[in-house]
Each structure stands twice: as structure tokens, then as C-alpha cells.
Amino acid sequence: MSAVLDRPVNTARLRDFVRNLAALLDEPSDEAVILARGSALLAELVGQDDWLPEAYAVPSAERYQQYLLHCDSAERFSVVSFVWGPGQGTPIHDHTVWGLVGVLRGAERAENFTRLDDGSLVESTVGELRPGDVEALSPTAGDIHRVSNALSDASSISIHVYGGNIGAVRRSTFAPDGTPKLFISGYANDAVPNLWDRSK
Ligand code: FE2
């Protein structure tokens, strides 16, 4: 993966986010506290657009890109850059771990679904997130959704944080009738950003 940088990249922001989130998870906290305080940390991160290395902001014409930016050494959390080409989006899916979604560039459309007792899905809410906005997802409250680029003529980038190594989590996609299918997303990249060179 090569990158052409036309501006300095402030990777310290991502390093600080990772350290602060790890410190939050070191404390015994319930999920509601993690989501509330994690949302504030993510809002701070996506409130500035000077830290994402260009290699992790590149769209693909074929499908949305899911670049791992960092995975906690105990796989307690992962940070992922989603890069959406015009019109691209996910199938309906769940996560099975808590999640935070923050928009860095462009706009993301989020459609949330409720699964009824008979297994069928009903769309419950639809929202649009803009740069700086953060939304939380909880498997306890229901975490089935479909996300997509809200822009039809430009790329969008959102930063997602999950309570596990999301690319390796065994979870589900859902057909429109609610039929689940095993889904392990993986990642688009083989190398992660170097957050730890403090010489510069
Ligand atoms: Fe998702």
C-alpha cells in the first residue's frame, strides 16, 4: 500500500484515542458507561480531520473498504476506517459486540432494524450522520443495521470502534426476509498505521 501525503498527518490524535479508550476499558464499567464515554472520545477524534493517513482513506470502485487502524493487544476493541465510494453500502448485519460509529468526511446513512419474534426484520429508524457525529450500537438494545454512503457523487469516510476484533467476529448478515447468514468481515489492509514513532 503506498501513500502520497500532501500534508502532515497528526497520528498523535489516533494514538491518544487508542490510549484513552484502553484506559476506559481498564476500569470496571458497564456497557452504557463505555458507550457514553467512548462516544465522547470518538467525537473528539472525528471532530478533526488531520490524522487519518491517506492509505486508509482510499475508496475502491468494487466495494466499500474496511481498513483496520488499530486492534487492542487483548482484542478488547478495534478501530476501523470505513471508506465508502459513491452509493456503496453494507448488507443488513449485526455485530454481537458494542460499537461506535463516527463520521469523518462526507455523510453516512444508517438504517436500524428490529428483529421480531418470528425472525423477520422491521426498519425502526433511519438517520444521517455528518462529520463529527457519533452513534452508538449495543447488542443488548439491538444492533442490526445497514449503513451506506449518503452521498451519490463523492466518497465518505466513517471511523468505527467495536468491542472486539471486529474483522474476526463470527456474526450475521440478513436477507430482507430476516434469514441470517454467517459473516466474518476481515479487513481490506495487511498493514496498520504506525502510531508509535515518537521521534517526529
Ligand atoms: Fe455495522
* Any domain includes 195: no
CA of 2 to the centre of ligand 1 (A): 27
- How many other CB atoms sit within 10 Å of the CB of residue 20? 16
Give residue 68's pLDDT.
98
In a domain, 89, yes or no: yes
pLDDT mean over 69-85: 98
Q: Quick check: 2 pLDDT over 50? A: no
Mean pLDDT of 128-154: 95
Note the pLDDT tens digit of each residue in 41-53.
999 999 999 999 9
Q: Which residue type occupies 187?
A: Y
Q: Report the separation in Å between the CA atom of 123 and the middle of ligand 1, taken as the mean of its atom positions.
A: 15
pLDDT tens, position by position, 109-120: 999 999 999 999
The pairing of strands 121-129 and 156-162 is unpaired
Is 190 inside a domain boundary? no
* Among the listed residues 111, 64, 52, 92, the one whose alpha carbon sits nearest the alpha carbon of residue 172: 92
Residue type, 135: E
Q: Write down the pLDDT at residue 200.
A: 73
Query: What average pLDDT does the segment 78-105 reach?
Result: 97
Which of 58, 108, 104, 102 is closest to 83 using CA atoms? 58
Domain membership of residue 85 (yes or no) is yes
Confidence of residue 184 (pLDDT cuts 50, 70, 90): very high
> Is residue 101 in a domain?
yes
Using the mean position of ligand 1's atoms as its centre, give its distance from the Cα of residue 3 in Å.
Answer: 27
Quote the cell numbers at residue 155. 466518497
Q: Where are the beta strands (DSSP E) in 45-195?
A: 65-71, 78-84, 92-93, 99-105, 108-115, 121-129, 134-137, 144-149, 156-162, 171-174, 180-183
Does 200 fall in a domain? no
Q: Please give the pLDDT value at position 29.
A: 85
Residue 7 falls inside a structural domain: yes
Measure 61 CA to ligand 1 centroid, in angstroms.
Answer: 20
pLDDT of residue 36: 97
pLDDT confidence bin for 28, thresholds 50/70/90: confident
CATH number at residue 152: 2.60.120.10
Number of compact structural domains in the chain: 1
CA 52 – ligand 1 centroid, Å: 20
Prediction pTM value: 0.94
SS3 180: strand
Q: Which domain holds residue 132?
A: 3-183
**Within a domain: 37:** yes
CA pair distance 71, 53, nearest whole angstrom: 16
Cell output for 159: 471511523
